[in-house]
Structure 1
Amino acid sequence: MKRALLIAVAAVGLIAAEPAPAPDRPLPDAAQEARAKRLFEDIRCVVCQHEAIADSPAGIASDMRGLVRDQIAAGRSDQAIREDLVRRYGDFVLFTPPMRAGTWLLWFGPFAVVLAVGALLLTFARRRKAEVAPLSPEEEARLADILFEGQLRRDPDANRSDD
């Protein structure tokens, strides 16, 4: 029973595994291939998200590299290739997204958070404790009477050294 279960789990794992990407076919022109490799460094893998498509082993990264090479071979400009990828995958596909209203949070969000935290810290640093007003002469006299007359109830567990 255990053996059959292990075989079934292994079979499902093999079926669900992503097939290996097709090997890259570099462009015949060395200048075009160098241009493609520069573009690969600026484009984010949509699966790995922290890697450029140049370094990603994911199948979609291989497909994206092939797409970039095909567009370079067709004579499209770097800007046109980037715009096509943004159209397909969104601004996230570029490591440096364009500055527009939809990406302001990406560009200015970290600065806004730092400024807000700095303002809070400055506010708390400048906040002073409320100063206690000195006792009036009547209050001082009353306090002296209380202390002199012994009206204070002493702690029965206290030693003389605790006073």
Structure 2
Amino acid sequence: MTRLFRSVGAALLLALLLAGPAAAVQPDEVLPDAAQEARARALSVELRCMVCQNQSIDDSNAPLARDLRLLVRERIAAGDSDREVMDYLVSRYGEFVLLRPTWHGANVILWLAPFAVLLVGGIGLFVAYRRRAAPSEAVVPLSPEEEARLRAALGEAAPDVTKL
């Protein structure tokens, strides 16, 4: 029994170790200068793979991600600052290339839309609850004349008041 637990534990540990992010950077992509390579890796983590869409180009094995990694390294080797590299990629691919889009223009609407929907839905639920919980109008009994006319219209005999 303990042998089974050990083997299951070892398999779980191996699965957890393998579940970490897979760096897709190939050895031929690495810059010779360690400082430039560190900058390239930091920028690659911030850029979206256009094929995978929810992975950074640093983690993606897609050919386009490789091209973007090489482009980042070329710009860094050419002497561009981090901001210049990011601006170049945004001008070429749009803000979609950023894993964390900026907070301006139409992006503000995209960032705030979920909260606005929640707020409007909450207000709608509150109003619906208040309407349901509000006391309904009191029922006013019919006057004796109205009751007599109703019974006449329905063809019923008037109740005998003496028996009540």
Q: CA deviation at 1:130?
A: 6.3
- Residues 59/65 of structure 1: CA separation in 2 closer, same or farther (3 Å cut): same
**Secondary structure class of the residue paired with 1:131:** coil
Identify the residue that residue 133 of structure 1 maps to in structure 2: 138
Q: TM-score w.r.t. structure 1 length?
A: 0.67
4+ aligned runs moved over 4 Å, structure 1 = none
Partner of 2:128: 124
SS in 2 for 1:98: coil
> Does the C-alpha gap of structure 1 residues 47 and 23 become closer, same or farther in structure 2, counting only changes over 3 Å?
farther
1:69-122 Cα deviation digits (max 9, x unpaired): 011111111111111111111111101111221212222122111112111111
Number of aligned pairs?
127
1:12-91 alignment runs, 5 A limit: 24-91=28-95
Query: Scaled by the length of structure 2, what TM-score is found?
Result: 0.67
Segments of structure 2 that go 5 or more residues without pairing to the other structure are 1-25, 158-164
Q: Tell me, which stretches of 5 or more residues in structure 1 are unaligned? A: 1-21, 153-163
**Seq. identity, %:** 45
Residue of structure 1 equivalent to 2:111: 107
Q: What amino acid is aligned across from residue 133 of structure 1 in structure 2?
A: A
Local SS of the residue matching 1:127: helix
| RMSD, matched Cα | 2.8
Show the counterpart of 1:95: 99
Measured after TM superposition, the shift of residue 133 of structure 1 is: 2.2
Alpha carbons of 1:60 and 1:23: their partners in 2 closer, same or farther (altered >3 Å)? farther
Contact 1:24–1:62 (8 Å) recurs in 2:
no
